Amino acid sequence: MRRNIRHSLFAIILTVLCPLLSQAHPVSLSEARMNIAKDGITATLSLMLEDLYLYQDIEPGSDYCFSPEVLTRAAERHQALLLQWFRIQDLDGSWLPAMITAMRLPKMGKKGIHVADLMAYCVEYDFSFTVDTPPEYITILQQFGGEDGFMPASMRITLFREGERMGYGYVLPRGIPSSIHIDWSRPPLSPDAPMEEQVAWLKMETESNLGISSYGAAYSFLYITDGEVRHEVLLPLLSLESWAPLERADKAFITVEEQEAARDTVASLLAKHGTLEIDGIGVKPTLQRLDFYGLDFTDFARQGPKKRLSAITARAGAILSYSCKGAPGTVKLTWDMYNGFMPALYTTVYAYDRTLQKVFAEYDKDFTWENPGQPPRPPVTQVNVKARTGPLPTKTMVAGLGLLAFAALLIPARRGVPRALKWLLTAGLVASSVVCWSSSATMPMPWPVFEPPVSEEDGRAIFGALHANIYRAFDYQRESDIYDVLARSVSGDLLEDLYLQIHEGMRMQEQGGAVARVKAVRLLEGALDGRARPDAFSYRCRWEVEGTVEHWGHIHTRTNRYEARFGVAVVDGSWKITRLEVLDEARVRFTTEIRKASR
């Protein structure tokens, strides 16, 4: 009976205190000071004694005080839970072996600590985590209260590297992992560093991570070009699964087979929550690629190696393509995926040569781009034959008319051809010749006269236009359009072979087989090869093609150099390439960079 009365009084006290406590302390707070060294990781975890009451079955005495013995036993029992709730994962998804090496309770009097003072005192635990090699990536996860804990729990993390503080502290919510990259080749940023040093360090950090520096944030990149709008979304797996759980046999990992099976689920989810309109019309996307990346993968434009990944650090990258005809007038993107795992979507918009920044949030879900006057793509025209149709000389015209008049006189009179008509025709031709002679009249030649064999200068101009047209054809998206444009400069017999050769030459295997967009074509040298005819010639040249593949804000530029012999001839009244013999092909350079902001 007395025990029940005591519990009732304790409950009344907590009821009175809870409103006050909730104002000062709405969540369970803890603090961790973590030191990362090449031979191991240590951490000192400090948490309020209130956690012992929340998670251990302890009761105060009749004076509403927790005795030192009760608190000590509870703190010792709490170690087992802390080893489950505070963990560090290495790069391959394994949890680092951990142990608690020391525990420190606050100084207490004989009575212990009153229930109203539990939040004023802390207990400290020293952790030790074992590593086999100097850690390059670690992931910290705190789950105070367990995976289904009823109370929000936040931990303030302060990082040190071999005793030197790394930047600034941050708050780690329950269940949301935090990943850290340790570059042992350069010192960490000091929290007391001057502004110039901080700017330089952040710039170097951004470049090393190719612009995507937060492992837990959601990013996207919206590309607006002629013929296509492309939305590329990079999401942490845990954020993705907070909307659409994927089938996974092992809760801690996602296998290659499970990654491939997620394609339809991810495509459907992103199409539903990331809607896009072009010129006011909703367009359904095509999922071009879905890749999953680990912590150590920074160049998301490349296809990462297919391997099993840790579920808490994996990221999914989806490329959604929306087709359009020509330059779009307006593009509107609406994004409505927001929760505790994904409070915002950080988006970079690349509209032709302009760069814009947009942060999607629950209070700001829409983005609209209007075409500022981007000119349409100029048409690719065929190279027509230049025929000479100069005027006939006056003497030639008079002589010709005279011969026609004489021939008219020789026409024998037949039934149906009156003699008067013959004399009338003769007189008209003679009069015309007199008029031409007296007025020096001229008339165009009634037949084309081609130039003599193609000169070096004309050959360079004709071939240069045809060569440029070939690569201009690959500005188009659909294969049928590319063929149609190529046909204006390439003869039918060579059309398919040349398409396949150039298409394969522009494919970047290191970018998952993506076909590069032609950035520049430079003719280095060229000359007629052999004897030219008026309607055909051979041309040998060397040239460079600079192509780019761009995904997730990363530009991969590859330059190839070629040498080949081309056959050029007149086909149906226009010049066309009829023969191709590749003599040499070599890669000159390959670079990766972040697309710079507009100026």
Which pLDDT value is given to residue 11? Answer: 42
- Decide if pLDDT at 106 tops 90: yes
DSSP summary character for residue 223: E
| Segment 557-585, tens digit of pLDDT | 888 899 999 999 998 888 999 999 999 98
Which pLDDT value is given to residue 551? Answer: 76
Asked which of 95-104, 261-270, 364-373, 478-487 is least confident by mean pLDDT, the reply is 478-487
If one compares 336 and 554, the residue with the highest pLDDT of the two is 336
Which pLDDT value is given to residue 202? Answer: 63
Q: Tell me, rounded to whole angstroms, the distance of Cα 426 from its chain centroid.
A: 81
**Length of the chain counted residue by residue:** 599
DSSP summary character for residue 452: S
Quote the mean pLDDT of the chain.
81
Q: What is the mean pLDDT of residues 421-448?
A: 59
In 3D space, the residue among 50, 18, 69, 59 whose CA is nearest the CA of residue 121 turns out to be 50
- Do 293 and 315 contact (CB within 8 A), yes or no? yes
Q: What is the mean pLDDT of residues 480-496?
A: 85
Q: How far apart are CA 301 and CA 514, in angstroms?
A: 10
| Segment 15-31, tens digit of pLDDT | 444 443 433 444 578 99
Residues 6+ apart with CB under 8 A from 243: 269, 273, 337, 339
Q: What is the mean pLDDT of residues 255-284?
A: 94
Task: Please state whether beta strands 153-161 and 28-37 pair in parallel, antiparallel, or not at all (unpaired).
Answer: parallel
What CATH fold (topology level) applies to the domain 452-594?
A: Nuclear Transport Factor 2; Chain: A, (3.10.450)
Residues 6+ apart with CB under 8 A from 274: 220, 231, 233, 320, 333, 334, 335, 337
Which pLDDT value is given to residue 599? Answer: 47
Domain boundaries, the chain: 27-193, 218-370, 394-439, 452-594
Which pLDDT value is given to residue 471? Answer: 86
Which pLDDT value is given to residue 391? Answer: 54
Which pLDDT value is given to residue 199? Answer: 66
- Decide if pLDDT at 369 tops 70: yes
- Decide if pLDDT at 4 tops 50: no
Confidence of residue 407 (pLDDT cuts 50, 70, 90): low
The burial class, CB within 10 Å (0-12 / 13-18 / 19+), for 547 is buried
Percent of the chain's residues with pLDDT above 70:
77
3-state SS, residue 278: strand
Confidence of residue 217 (pLDDT cuts 50, 70, 90): confident
Q: What is the mean pLDDT of residues 414-426?
A: 59
Which pLDDT value is given to residue 297? Answer: 76
Which pLDDT value is given to residue 70? Answer: 94
Asked which of 23-32, 256-265, 352-361, 397-406 is least confident by mean pLDDT, the reply is 397-406
Q: How far apart are CA 202 and CA 188, in angstroms?
A: 11
User: Mind giving me the DSSP string for 22-59?
Assistant: HHH-SSEEEEEEEEEETTEEEEEEEEETHHHHHHS---
Tokens of 353: 């040569």
Q: Is 520 left (phi over 0), alpha (psi -120 to 50) or beta?
A: beta
User: Mind giving me the DSSP string for 551-571?
Assistant: ETTEEEEEEEEEEEEEEEEEE
- Sign of the alpha-carbon dihedral angle for 335, 341, 343, 345: negative
Which pLDDT value is given to residue 397? Answer: 59
Which pLDDT value is given to residue 575? Answer: 92
Q: What is the mean pLDDT of residues 99-116?
A: 92
| Segment 148-175, tens digit of pLDDT | 766 778 899 999 999 888 877 888 888 8
Confidence of residue 366 (pLDDT cuts 50, 70, 90): very high
Residue type, 371: N
